[in-house]
Chains A and B, each alone.
Chain A
């Protein structure tokens, strides 16, 4: 009796998912097969795969997302590891989360203030004798801001994974003669991989379609697929092409999820 009810409990969620997830995705898919005159066509996909511009843009998006993900991972992992050792871990975690409460646009504008020609960073550089540098509208600036914005999303899952690690496992490893490097490589890191995986997904996927930053911080010198989508929906009003790129992004996201999925077999080999 009880189990039958619990299946019904899923109904509202199902309802919700169909209305607000499946239906919009379906609409996007249908749109992507429409040309500007509203006719059923595959032309959008043909244009996409034939055009060097779109393919290069896709490569750009993937490359920048990869770099941003790597940068956040390199910063977030040690930080999360140290945080788990601290006394007031929750407090530090909150400080990390705090910036996510601020609107993205505001943060971007704050960085404009920092990186501008007479911004704080350049004033500091002048003070120590290096002289003002061009920071705005460079790839580096875009990477810094994107990494800053995505950092909490990388840090949180890693922190949670590390915190759930049973300390007795580490003690056992040390008792059995592993040095600290070995303990980390063989015990701590493999156990925190689930967190890393979640973090990579949470950072890589949204970074693929970051578009506002490419204009505000990158000055459109950094072009990602998001730029093209925005243009197709707002300027050329070619919703079909915009949807096509949207669908390609979604496929890219599924691919990312697939590539970073939990592999069941591997754990067993290690367990030996």
Chain B
């Protein structure tokens, strides 16, 4: 009998322990008591992508304003959305991509930004402001931006060989292209190659795009996620379809790699600073947004992360080779052809994914 009680106690303790840890975590994230409030008022909690800010800037921010920064990271928009939605978090700032801003806005998860408290708005390039996903930037400010393009290895592909998306279909690249594992981007690429919008919702057009994509399969070596960077750096394939952000990292690690933005339609993505409804310390959040809007900080961050900054004044401070490189900072004409992804709703997202899955199942 004693043994029995012992065993029950063990199970109860495990369950109880889990509950205790859970409530302790919730407590830690929702400080209610007065004394804790004081210390927490000096903290700013940021929820951002991994390695997406120069750590030196966080230190400088603390030195300048006195706010301690609590920096947490996520690895996908969807993961971030789920975590904030579930509650129990106290993020003051988050950095979703554009379509996720729209989704969060519609789900009522965002706090409007008070323009009177923002400084340095004039530094931002108008091209990246007032976009469909957030008209008049009521909820968000752009943090970094980039494009979807092609990375090539000059050992296997001559510069200038890739000009449009359709060049990828050449038989010469048999088994030599890597694709990023993302339904929206790859389906979008197929649509763009035929001159259709990357936000197409028309059923026959999507089916045709999948059909065209299937003809690319003989050239496709692999459809991979983050590993694509490692593979390209190791000269595993000649070409990769990927975001400019990933490309910047590849190019920095292998001097034979180059990034091109194909002419015609492509994707323009923006990651944006937003204030989720979970915000506890608005003063600190505004202080941080304003801190990052300052040209010297934005420039420093852009040099560290390697992505393109939407901050014109910061761009002017970047080395000439960077800011005149049309791969990272396309000319205005090319910029005008870029499309920002719209949140197409869950049924359409599903359809894109179904087509993408079908494409993956294509036999060579």
Please tell me if the beta carbons of A11 and B8 are within 8 angstroms of each other in the complex: yes
| A22 is an interface residue with CB less than 8 A from chain B | no
Tell me whether A236 and B346 are in contact in the complex, defined as CB-CB below 8 angstroms, given that A220-B360, A228-B357 are known contacts.
yes
Tell me whether A117 and B183 are in contact in the complex, defined as CB-CB below 8 angstroms, given that A12-B10, A36-B346 are known contacts.
no
Q: Mark A114-144, 1 if CB is under 8 A from B, else 0.
A: 0011100000000000000010110000000
Name the CB-closest residue of B to A15.
B11
**CA–CA, A223 to B357, complex, Å?**
9
A155 CB, nearest partner CB in chain B, Å: 30
Name the CB-closest residue of A to B353.
A236
Tell me whether A220 and B11 are in contact in the complex, defined as CB-CB below 8 angstroms, given that A9-B4, A117-B234, A118-B235 are known contacts.
no
In the assembled complex, which residues on chain A have CB atoms less than 8 Å from the CB atom of B235? 117-118
In the assembled complex, which residues on chain A have CB atoms less than 8 Å from the CB atom of B227? 112, 215-216
Please tell me if the beta carbons of A134 and B353 are within 8 angstroms of each other in the complex: no
Please tell me if the beta carbons of A235 and B353 are within 8 angstroms of each other in the complex: yes
If over half of A's interface residues share one DSSP class (helix, strand or loop), that class is named, otherwise mixed; here it is helix
Tell me whether A53 and B4 are in contact in the complex, defined as CB-CB below 8 angstroms, given that A117-B234, A215-B225 are known contacts.
no
**CA–CA, A9 to B192, complex, Å?**
65
In the assembled complex, which residues on chain A have CB atoms less than 8 Å from the CB atom of B347? 36
| B358 is an interface residue with CB less than 8 A from chain A | yes
Please tell me if the beta carbons of A134 and B175 are within 8 angstroms of each other in the complex: yes
Stretch at the interface among B216-224, B295-303, B332-340: B216-224
Within 8 A of B (CB), among A213-246: 215-216, 218-221, 223, 227-228, 231, 234-238
**CA–CA, A48 to B306, complex, Å?**
43
A244 CB, nearest partner CB in chain B, Å: 13
CB contact between B79 and one of A51, A53, A231, A234 (< 8 Å): that residue: A234
Please tell me if the beta carbons of A238 and B350 are within 8 angstroms of each other in the complex: yes
Please tell me if the beta carbons of B236 and A116 are within 8 angstroms of each other in the complex: yes
In the assembled complex, which residues on chain A have CB atoms less than 8 Å from the CB atom of B361? 53, 56-57, 60, 223
Tell me whether A53 and B346 are in contact in the complex, defined as CB-CB below 8 angstroms, given that A5-B1, A9-B4, A215-B225 are known contacts.
no
Within 8 A of A (CB), among B328-364: 346-347, 349-350, 353-354, 357-358, 360-361, 364
Within 8 A of B (CB), among A6-27: 8-9, 11-13, 15-16, 19
| B7 is an interface residue with CB less than 8 A from chain A | yes
| B56 is an interface residue with CB less than 8 A from chain A | no
**CA–CA, A235 to B220, complex, Å?**
22
Please tell me if the beta carbons of B223 and A9 are within 8 angstroms of each other in the complex: no
Please tell me if the beta carbons of A117 and B15 are within 8 angstroms of each other in the complex: no
Please tell me if the beta carbons of A220 and B3 are within 8 angstroms of each other in the complex: no
Please tell me if the beta carbons of B4 and A238 are within 8 angstroms of each other in the complex: no
Tell me whether A137 and B4 are in contact in the complex, defined as CB-CB below 8 angstroms, given that A53-B358, A215-B181, A231-B357 are known contacts.
no
Q: Mark B220-240, 1 if CB is under 8 A from A, else 0.
A: 111111010011001110000
**CA–CA, A36 to B3, complex, Å?**
47
**CA–CA, A221 to B236, complex, Å?**
16
Within 8 A of B (CB), among A88-116: 112, 116
**CA–CA, A227 to B181, complex, Å?**
11
Name the CB-closest residue of A to B10.
A12
In the assembled complex, which residues on chain A have CB atoms less than 8 Å from the CB atom of B220? 221
In the assembled complex, which residues on chain B have CB atoms less than 8 Å from the CB atom of A12? 4, 7-8, 10-11
Besides the known contacts A5-B4, A36-B346, A236-B350, 10 further A-B residue pairs in the complex with CB atoms under 8 A apart:
A16-B11, A53-B358, A116-B234, A221-B222, A221-B223, A228-B357, A235-B78, A235-B349, A236-B346, A236-B353
Q: Can you show 27 pairs from A to B with CB atoms below 8 A apart?
A: A9-B4, A11-B4, A12-B8, A15-B8, A116-B231, A116-B236, A118-B234, A134-B175, A136-B222, A215-B224, A215-B227, A218-B222, A219-B222, A220-B222, A220-B360, A221-B364, A223-B360, A231-B353, A234-B78, A234-B79, A235-B78, A235-B182, A235-B183, A235-B349, A235-B353, A236-B346, A237-B346
- Report A's interface with B, CB cutoff 8 A: 5, 8-9, 11-13, 15-16, 19, 36, 51, 53, 56-57, 60, 112, 116-118, 134, 136-137, 215-216, 218-221, 223, 227-228, 231, 234-238
- Report B's interface with A, CB cutoff 8 A: 1, 3-4, 7-8, 10-11, 15, 76, 78-79, 82, 175, 178, 181-183, 220-225, 227, 230-231, 234-236, 346-347, 349-350, 353-354, 357-358, 360-361, 364
